[in-house]
């Protein structure tokens, strides 16, 4: 699986530096794990982090190296707390199927997911909500047309299964659609089978027509 | 959280002019070769030290690495909002890791400074997560809640010839500014857009250009 649509470098920089909230982190983790191009960008951000570190002025009151010896003695008896998975550009095979994705990144199983039917072949599964950031999944039957909408913040959508069109672009498994308040889109699921997406959104979606706006408070997106 | 580190004015005031120094194929030509060479030499020395530590576990080699990195690691954590005490404890932990896990360093994959950066970055992420879990109580390593005394003392001193400034000065000021806010203050691109009062799309496109330049810069610098 080689993704064709990627999160912008801004997201990869946030991911590389640990500057993301958990929900965005989940989506980035799943994409970066399968995307060589984004792994390279994360490594680039980390390399530049080394340059930034090396260029920082040293703090004037840093402990003497001799104080380390006490830690070293302790170290022999305890597991070091610093994570040794150094780079965040970690390749995984976990997102190669929807089942693997649910087990690895959501720490759950397909049977445990609670889908809510919205009618017209559309289901959502809410995963987490933290302040105004929501992580959810959307499952739509082949040919489903989602209502036109824009956003009041950032939205990252990762295709986990199937594919959808947005304008002239097609988003397939592993791809990320990177949207924000400047984006208005109307995803259309391809005719080749159901499509499942993972989405993280900041703030509420802004629907263009009255019916989705009416039901929005009920479905919580 | 202390957020007063950035001294953007310390970046070259005319760094925008350096956009004009980029040739039509986008190659960066504004860097001084001698400054780049000095930085590459320093990077190679650090990596050689870490390789030597990996092979021989020599105390003097470790001390040399400690002298090069410990104070900078402390500055980094303080700039991200850590208290001086927390920063000191975490730096000690990370330097112990450098010593005990040097055998895991692969010089073909990263420079010593990148490897050490990822160690401190990972620890920083752990601390933030712990802080989020204990948001109502200050843990041993709480990152916020204490206004640090030192972050305003940290600034990029490019007049002292520090190579990081040379690399940043190869970027247009508006790109360097975003990178500094992300790396040194730990801000997300959305927080940066809000702080600078620019649309999110502008921040994204500046970072796209910055990554293109960084790639060339890092390739040239290695």
Q: Are B189 and A13 in contact (CB under 8 A)?
A: yes
Q: Does the beta-carbon distance from B71 to A58 stay under 8 Å?
A: yes
pLDDT of residue A61: 79
Residue A57, C-beta contacts closer than 8 angstroms, at least 6 positions apart: B72, B75, B154, B155, B156, B157, B162
B116 touches A: beta carbon within 8 Å: yes
Q: Does the beta-carbon distance from B157 to A44 stay under 8 Å?
A: no
pLDDT of residue A221: 60
pLDDT of residue A147: 79
List pLDDT tens digits, range A177-213.
999 888 888 889 998 899 999 999 998 777 766 666 6
According to DSSP, residue B8 is labeled G
Distance linking the first and last C-alpha atoms of chain B:
35
Q: Of A25, A89, A167, which is closest to residue B129 (Cα–Cα)?
A: A25
Residue of chain B nearest A44, judged by CA positions: B215
| B 37-96 near A (Cβ less than 8 A) | 39, 42-43, 46, 62-63, 66-67, 69-76, 78-79, 84, 87-88, 91-96
For an interface test with B, the pick among A24, A48, A81 (most B C-beta atoms closer than 10 Å) comes out as: A48
Per-residue pLDDT for chain A (221 aa), expressed as one digit of tens each? 688 999 999 999 999 999 999 999 999 999 999 899 999 999 999 999 999 999 898 888 778 887 776 666 655 555 555 556 588 887 776 556 788 888 888 888 889 999 998 877 889 999 999 888 999 999 999 999 887 787 789 999 999 999 999 989 999 999 999 998 888 888 899 988 999 999 999 987 777 666 666 566 656 66
Residue of chain A nearest B61, judged by CA positions: A65
> CA-to-CA distance for A177 and A96, rounded, in angstroms?
18
Q: How many helices (H) and strands (E) does chain B have?
A: 8, 0
Q: Are B186 and B143 in contact (CB under 8 A)?
A: no
Q: Does the beta-carbon distance from A57 to B100 stay under 8 Å?
A: no
3-state helix, strand, coil in chain A (%, to 5): 35, 25, 40
Q: Which residues of A touch B71 (CB under 8 A)?
A: 58-60, 62
B171 touches A: beta carbon within 8 Å: no
Per-residue pLDDT for chain B (222 aa), expressed as one digit of tens each? 334 444 444 443 333 334 334 444 444 445 566 777 888 899 999 999 999 999 998 889 999 999 999 999 999 999 999 999 999 999 999 999 999 899 999 999 999 999 999 999 999 999 988 887 766 444 333 344 333 333 333 444 433 334 455 678 788 989 999 999 999 999 999 999 999 999 999 999 999 999 999 999 888 776
Q: How far is B215 from chain A (nearest CA, A)?
A: 7
* A139: enclosing H helix or E strand: strand A133-140
Sign of the CA dihedral B132, B134, B135, B137? negative
pLDDT of residue B94: 93
Residue of chain B nearest A69, judged by CA positions: B96
Residue of chain B nearest A19, judged by CA positions: B188
């Amino acid at each position: 699986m080689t993704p064709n649509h990627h999160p912008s470098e801004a997201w990869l920089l946030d991911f590389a530096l640990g500057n993301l909230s958990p929900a965005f982190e989940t989506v980035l983790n799943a994409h970066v794990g399968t995307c060589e191009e984004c792994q390279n960008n994360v490594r680039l951000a980390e390399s530049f982090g080394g340059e930034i570190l090396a260029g920082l002025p040293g703090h004037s009151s840093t402990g003497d190296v001799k104080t380390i010896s006490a830690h070293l003695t302790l170290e022999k008896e305890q597991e070091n707390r610093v994570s040794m998975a150094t780079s965040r550009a970690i390749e995984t095979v976990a997102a190669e199927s929807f089942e693997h994705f649910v087990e690895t990144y959501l720490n759950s199983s397909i049977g445990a997911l609670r889908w809510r039917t919205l009618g017209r072949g559309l289901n959502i599964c809410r995963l987490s909500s933290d302040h105004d950031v929501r992580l959810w999944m959307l499952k739509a039957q082949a040919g489903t047309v989602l209502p036109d909408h824009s956003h009041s913040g950032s939205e990252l959508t990762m295709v986990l299964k199937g594919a959808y069109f947005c304008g002239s672009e097609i988003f397939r498994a592993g791809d990320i659609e990177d949207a924000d308040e400047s984006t208005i889109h109307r995803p259309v699921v391809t005719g080749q089978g159901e499509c499942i997406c993972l989405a993280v959104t900041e703030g509420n979606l802004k629907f263009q027509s009255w019916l989705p706006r009416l039901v929005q408070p009920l479905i919580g997106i | 959280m202390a957020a007063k580190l950035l001294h953007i004015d310390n970046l070259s005031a005319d760094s925008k002019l350096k956009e004009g120094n980029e040739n039509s194929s986008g190659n960066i030509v504004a860097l001084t070769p001698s400054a780049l060479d000095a930085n590459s030499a320093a990077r190679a020395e650090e990596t050689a030290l870490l390789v030597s530590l990996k092979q021989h576990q020599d105390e003097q080699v470790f001390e040399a690495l400690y002298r090069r990195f410990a104070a900078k690691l402390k500055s980094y954590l303080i700039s991200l909002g850590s208290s001086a005490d927390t920063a000191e404890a975490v730096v000690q932990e990370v330097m112990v890791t450098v010593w005990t896990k040097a055998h895991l360093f692969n010089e073909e994959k990263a420079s010593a400074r990148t490897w050490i950066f990822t160690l401190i970055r990972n620890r920083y992420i752990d601390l933030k997560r712990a802080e989020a879990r204990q948001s109502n109580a200050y843990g041993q390593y709480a990152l916020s809640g204490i206004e640090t005394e030192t972050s305003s003392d940290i600034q990029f001193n490019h007049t002292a010839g520090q190579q990081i400034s040379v690399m940043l000065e190869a970027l247009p000021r508006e790109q360097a500014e975003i990178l500094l806010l992300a790396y040194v203050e730990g801000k997300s691109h959305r927080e940066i857009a809000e702080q600078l009062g620019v649309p999110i799309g502008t921040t994204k496109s500046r970072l796209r250009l910055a990554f293109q330049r960084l790639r060339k810069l890092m390739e040239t610098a290695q």
